[in-house]
Each structure stands twice: as structure tokens, then as C-alpha cells.
């Protein structure tokens, strides 16, 4: 069935390519077939990934039933291996350039705007809280999972556990965490994928660039590098159906208990959804009530359209216009909305920060490589930082998942590769849900910043651009586009104005 679907889809594409008219004027040739094929794959990437996963399951079961040789299994897994290597080669430079660019932009402005400082602090705080929630949720529901037999007949008892040969105290864990934050050789950190050291170095380097008079060309260089690397990631993601199908096929062919894996990944999805729901309706509601003293569920009533758009696009950037409209419909200040929403779209990735620790700890635990609690905290920090540095594009989590698993010091056994393959197969669904959480956090941040802006800061923000303000008889004012009594600011100070 999967092969038939692929053949029909490719046939439809060929018919479309051969019958499409030329560009306006008739002089320019039509778009090359390779470009049309790439655009078509991007439009149908989710469907093709599901088809590729189903095909991989069928091929894996077939190879397992027929007792395929190791050479056949190696060839079957080869496209998936190349797919993983391509992602790992691009994602670390992309994260480094993103961190340098973002830190430099903040350092350039000196965070002089009050709204930007408040928004960034709020979004960073909620992202780190979300990553800790992910650790908490996995440990609460760890009893639902059980290690699966390793590929090749090994058992959990014979597996090498991460950290089993050492007992880390709290002090030792903190000291090791500090050493990872401060690399002694940045090139070695790149080679060994020490993400904490890479990210802290990038933030420090970018902040200093933003304060250097001659740093603008270097900042533009890293901006261009980030844009180019994101384009490379997009090109690599086009091969997701083939890569995922190959990984799943090779892993299933070597698996001894496929049924338990399916049950375990179903439980993983339930735990992730429970964590995201608690973060939205529990944590966000509590924070909203604490800062605004208002009923959060009245604010949630205006969000369904935004949630649907986020689920369909799987992109915070693509949902930005809907997020802005939702905030305006909720009665928030237009100036705050237009300023804070783009910041949230870039910085706020609570959904990713919460889900990634659960997935990584699940992969390690089910593969009989449980991660000790001290290392789990390091995983939480890594997930939070990488979520902040991730690109708000669909399926960007495909690339970061591989690096996070490696940074968690999980050995890439055949079982781990199989679990990663299944996670990539449902990545489209996880991505859609965490995007809904991300845009919800964006709107909550806008509402809190709007509420916390003092009259003095609003006066500076609005009067600095010569806006019209609504003034009552006692001298207080609120920004408004429907004012009855209006004054337009001139060269005098606000205190010297009359109505």
C-alpha cells in the first residue's frame, strides 16, 4: 500500500511537471523538475514521513521473517545512517551561529528597552521551568515504561548503564556542570559535541561582538551563516521519509520485541501530552493569575483559532500573524503586542524544552541506559538552551533530537537507533503540539508585559514616537485610537501639556 501511494504521488507530480505552462510571457522556461519535486515533498512531508515509516516497518518485518543477512541489513540501514550524519554535521554550527547572532543583537542595544528586558526575562525563565517540568514528569511516570530487550539478544542486565560505574554526589555534579559550562578548548568542544560549552562560548562571544564598534561585519557574517545553515537543514529534512524509513527498517529487522516498543512509545506520547497540558493550563494559568490577578480561562477563550493554526503549520513564525490578532482581540495594547510577539516567536520554546527531556530520558531508559538524576539536570539545561537557539520552522526538532541524545551521553546502540527512528516518525505530531504550547506562551508573555508596564514606561514608549494619547481631567492618560479628548505632543515635556 505504501509503495502504491508513492507511485501514484510521483506520477501525479510528473504529470503536473509536463503539463504546467511556462512563466508569464512564455520566454522563461518552467521550473526544473528537481525544484518542483523538492517543493512537492515539502508540502507533503508529513504524509510521506508516515508512508516511509510504514514502508520501513514492512521491510523490517520482512527481513526479520526471512532471516536477512547482515550485509543486506547494512545496505538497508545505509540511507538512514547518511541522513543522521548529515543532520549532525549541520545542526551544531547552526546552533552556534544562532546563539552568536542573538547574543550580539541584545548586546548591541544594551537591552535598553524595558519591554524587551521584561519579555526576554519572562520567556527565558519559563523555558527553564518547562525543561525541569519535563524531568519531573518523566520521573513521575517512569513506572509506566520498561526496558526492551536489546537488539542482538542482549538483555537489560548485560547493558552498560550510563553512569553505573560512578556515584556522583551533589557537589560533584555541580562541579562537573561548571566544567561543562566553561570549555578549555572550544574546538575540542565542537569535536566532542559538548553543547553547554559551545552555547556559553557563543553567548559570551556574541555579547562582546555587540559591544564592539567594528563588530557589525562579524555579526552580519553569523547572521548569513545562520540563514544558510537553516536552508541546509531544510534541504536535508526533505529526505526525512527515506531516512526514517531506513532507520526503522534496519532497527526492526534487528529487534527482538517489537510489540513492547510500540506500547512504550504510545505511553511516551501520552506522558508528553499530559506534560504539555499541565504546563499550559497549570503553570501558565498560575503565572497569569499571579501577575495580573485575572481569570486565565477567559484569556484562553480567544485562543482556539491560534491553536488550530499552530497545529496545522507546526511553526511559531508562520503563526505569528494569528498570534498578534489573538492578543489584540484579547484587548492587549497594540504597541506591546507588536513589540513582544516577535521576541516570543524567537525566544519562547517552552513546548520543546518540556518535551525533549521526556523523550531523551525515555530513549535512555527503554534502551537500558538510565540516566542518573544529576545528569538529568544537565540534560534539562541542554534542552532549554537548545530550544532557545532552535529555529521556529516546521520539523526543526528532527535535527536537534539527535544531538541532544548524543549530548546526554547515551550510547548509540541498535536499540537506541530504533527508538530514535520511531520518535522521528511521530515528530510531526509532537512538533504540532509543542508549537501550540509555544504560541500560548507567547500570548501569556504579552499579557503579563502589558499588565506590568508602568505608566511611566508606557509614557516613554508611546510619547517617544509622537503618538496620540487619551487624557482625562485629572491628567492621567491611556494610549488609545478612539480618544474623545486628544493632544499631540510637541517639543514640551509631558508635564507642561494642557487639554
The per-residue pLDDT for range 263-317, each reduced to its tens digit, is 888 899 999 999 999 999 999 999 999 998 888 888 898 898 889 888 877 777 7
Mutual orientation of helices 320-329 and 334-347 as an angle, nearest 10°? 140
Q: Give the pLDDT confidence of 252-261 residue by residue, as tens digits.
A: 777 666 677 7
Length of the chain: 499
Burial 255-277 (b: 16+ CB within 10 A, else e): bbebebbeebbebbeebbeebbe
Greatest extent of the chain over all pairs of C-alpha atoms, in Å: 90
DSSP string for 228-245: HHHHHHHHHHTTHHHHHH
The closest of 336, 368, 371 to 453, measured between CA atoms, is 336
351 against 468, higher pLDDT: 351
In this prediction, residue 347 carries a pLDDT of: 77
State how far the Cα of 205 lies from the Cα of 433, in Å rounded to an integer: 34
Q: How confident is the model at residue 441 (pLDDT cuts 50, 70, 90)?
A: very high
**Minimum mean pLDDT range among 61-65, 111-115, 316-320, 332-336:** 111-115
Better-scored residue on pLDDT, 4 or 81: 81
Q: How many CA atoms lie within 13 A of 445 on its CB side?
A: 34
* C-alpha to C-alpha distance for 243 and 306, rounded to whole angstroms: 32
Supply the pLDDT for residue 170: 57
Q: What is the DSSP letter of 279?
A: I
pLDDT category, 26, cuts 50, 70, 90? very low
Contacts of 327 (CB under 8 A, 6+ apart): 337, 341, 443, 446, 447
In angstroms, the Cα distances linking 294 to 285, 287, 332 are: 10, 10, 13
pLDDT grade, residue 20 (50/70/90)?
very low
Instruction: List CB contacts of 58: < 8 A, sequence separation 6 or more.
Output: 2
Of 149 and 307, which is predicted with more confidence?
A: 307
Rounded CA gap, 424 and 421, in Å? 5
Q: What are phi and psi of 409, to 5 degrees?
A: 65, 40
Cα–Cα distance for residue pair 466/492, rounded to 1 Å: 12
pLDDT of residue 469: 39
Residue 87 reports pLDDT greater than 70:
yes
Q: Please give the Cα distance from 395 to 292 (Å, whole number).
A: 34
Contact status, residue 134 vs residue 356, Cβ threshold 8 Å: yes
Q: Can you tell me the distance from the alpha carbon of 15 to that of 13, in angstroms, rounded to the nearest whole number? A: 5
- The set of residues, in sequence order, having a beta carbon less than 8 Å from that of 193 and lying 6+ positions away, is 92, 403, 406, 407
Cβ pair 247, 424 in contact under 8 A: yes
How much is the average pLDDT of 361-374? Answer: 88
Report residue 107's pLDDT band, with 50, 70 and 90 as the boundaries.
low
Q: Which residues contact 173 (CB under 8 A, 6 or more apart)?
A: 374, 375, 377, 378
CB proximity list for 226: less than 8 A, separation 6 or greater: 94, 97, 98, 101
Residue 86's Cα: distance from chain center in Å?
19
Rounded CA-CA distance 92/86 in Å is: 11
Mean pLDDT value across residues 420-444: 86
DSSP state, 413?
A: -
Contacts of 320 (CB under 8 A, 6+ apart): 341, 342, 345
- Statement: residue 148 has pLDDT above 80: no
Handedness of CA 146, 147, 149, 155 (dihedral sign): negative
Q: What are phi and psi of 479, to 5 degrees?
A: -60, 135
Question: How many alpha carbons lie under 13 Å from residue 165 in its C-beta half-sphere?
Answer: 3
Cα-based angle 56, 62, 65 (whole degrees, multiple of 5): 140
468-471 β-sheet, strand order: 477-479, 468-471, 486-488
Mean pLDDT, rounded, of the chain = 74
Please, are residues 2 and 51 in contact by the beta-carbon 8 Å criterion? yes
Which range has the worst mean pLDDT, 45-49, 158-162, 224-228, 331-335?
158-162
pLDDT score at 330: 87
Residue 468: phi and psi, rounded to 5, are -95, 135
Which three three-digit cell numbers place residue 64?
526479520
469-495 residue pLDDT tens? 343 334 333 443 333 333 344 333 344
d(CA 80, CA 251): 10
Flag whether the pTM goes above 0.85.
Answer: no
Query: What's the confidence (pLDDT) of residue 457?
Result: 52
Question: For residue range 220-245, what is the model confidence (pLDDT) as tens digits?
Answer: 998 898 888 878 877 887 888 888 78
Instruction: Output 355 or 16, whichever has higher pLDDT.
Output: 355
| CA 121 – CA 58 distance, rounded (Å) | 48
User: pLDDT band at residue 133, thresholds of 50, 70 and 90?
Assistant: very high
Q: Quick one: residue 484, left, alpha or beta (phi over 0 = left, psi -120 to 50 = alpha)?
A: alpha
Mean of the pLDDT values across residues 7-34? 51
Split at pLDDT 50, 70, 90, the class of 393 is low
pLDDT (average), residues 197-219: 85
Give the least confident one: 65-74, 104-113, 396-405.
104-113
Handedness of CA 149, 154, 158, 164 (dihedral sign): negative
Amino acid at each position: 500500500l505504501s509503495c502504491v501511494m508513492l507511485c501514484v504521488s510521483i506520477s501525479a507530480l510528473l504529470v503536473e511537471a509536463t503539463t504546467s505552462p511556462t512563466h508569464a510571457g512564455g520566454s522563461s522556461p518552467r521550473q526544473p523538475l528537481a525544484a518542483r519535486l523538492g517543493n512537492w515533498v515539502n508540502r507533503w512531508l508529513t504524509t510521506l514521513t508516515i508512508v516511509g515509516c510504514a514502508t520501513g516497518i514492512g521491510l523490517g518485518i520482512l527481513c526479520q521473517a526471512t532471516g536477512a543477512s547482515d550485509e543486506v541489513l547494512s545496505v538497508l540501514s545505509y540511507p538512514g545512517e547518511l541522513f543522521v550524519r548529515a543532520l549532525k554535521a549541520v545542526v551544531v554550527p547552526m546552533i552556534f551561529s544562532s546563539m552568536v547572532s542573538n547574543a550580539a543583537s541584545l548586546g548591541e542595544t544594551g537591552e535598553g528597552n524595558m519591554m524587551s528586558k521584561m519579555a526576554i526575562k519572562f520567556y527565558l525563565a519559563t523555558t527553564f521551568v518547562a525543561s525541569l517540568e519535563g524531568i519531573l514528569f518523566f520521573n513521575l511516570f517512569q513506572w509506566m515504561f520498561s526496558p526492551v530487550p536489546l537488539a542482538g539478544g542482549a538483555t537489560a542486565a548485560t547493558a552498560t548503564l550510563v553512569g553505573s560505574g560512578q556515584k556522583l554526589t551533589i557537589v560533584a555534579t555541580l562541579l562537573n556542570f561548571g566544567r561543562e559550562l566553561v570549555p578549555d578548548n572550544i574546538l575540542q568542544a565542537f569535536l566532542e559535541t559538548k553543547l553547554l560549552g559551545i552555547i556559553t562560548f557563543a553567548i559570551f562571544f556574541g555579547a562582546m561582538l555587540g559591544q564592539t564598534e567594528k563588530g557589525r561585519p562579524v555579526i552580519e557574517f553569523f547572521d548569513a551563516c545562520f540563514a544558510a545553515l537553516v536552508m541546509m537543514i531544510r534541504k536535508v529534512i526533505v529526505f526525512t521519509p527515506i531516512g526514517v524509513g531506513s532507520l526503522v527498517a534496519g532497527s526492526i529487522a534487528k529487534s527482538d520485541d517489537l510489540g513492547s516498543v510500540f506500547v512504550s512509545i504510545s505511553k511516551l506520547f501520552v506522558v508528553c501530552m499530559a506534560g504539555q497540558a499541565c504546563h499550559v493550563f497549570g503553570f501558565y494559568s498560575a503565572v497569569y493569575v499571579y501577575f495580573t490577578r485575572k481569570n486565565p480561562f477567559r484569556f484562553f477563550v480567544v485562543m482556539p483559532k491560534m491553536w488550530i493554526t499552530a497545529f496545522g503549520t507546526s511553526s511559531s513564525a508562520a503563526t505569528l500573524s494569528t498570534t498578534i490578532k489573538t492578543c489584540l482581540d484579547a484587548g492587549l495594547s497594540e504597541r506591546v503586542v507588536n513589540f513582544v510577539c516577535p521576541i516570543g516567536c524567537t525566544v519562547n520554546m517552552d513546548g520543546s524544552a518540556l518535551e525533549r527531556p521526556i523523550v531523551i530520558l525515555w530513549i535512555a531508559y527503554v534502551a537500558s541506559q538510565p540516566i542518573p538524576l544529576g545528569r538529568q539536570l544537565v540534560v534539562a539545561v541542554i534542552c532549554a538552551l537548545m530550544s532557545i537557539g532552535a529555529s521556529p520552522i516546521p520539523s526543526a526538532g528532527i535535527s536537534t533530537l539527535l544531538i541532544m541524545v548524543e549530548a546526554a551521553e547515551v550510547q548509540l546502540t541498535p536499540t537506541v537507533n530504533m527508538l530514535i527512528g520511531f520518535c522521528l516518525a511521530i515528530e510531526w505530531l509532537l512538533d504540532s503540539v509543542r508549537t501550540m504550547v509555544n504560541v500560548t506562551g507567547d500570548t501569556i508573555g504579552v499579557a503579563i508585559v502589558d499588565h506590568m508596564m508602568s505608566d511611566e514606561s508606557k509614557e516613554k514608549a508611546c510619547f517617544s514616537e509622537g503618538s496620540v494619547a487619551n487624557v482625562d481631567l485629572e491628567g492621567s492618560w491611556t494610549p488609545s485610537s478612539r480618544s474623545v479628548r486628544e493632544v499631540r505632543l510637541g517639543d514640551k515635556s509631558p508635564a507642561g501639556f494642557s487639554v
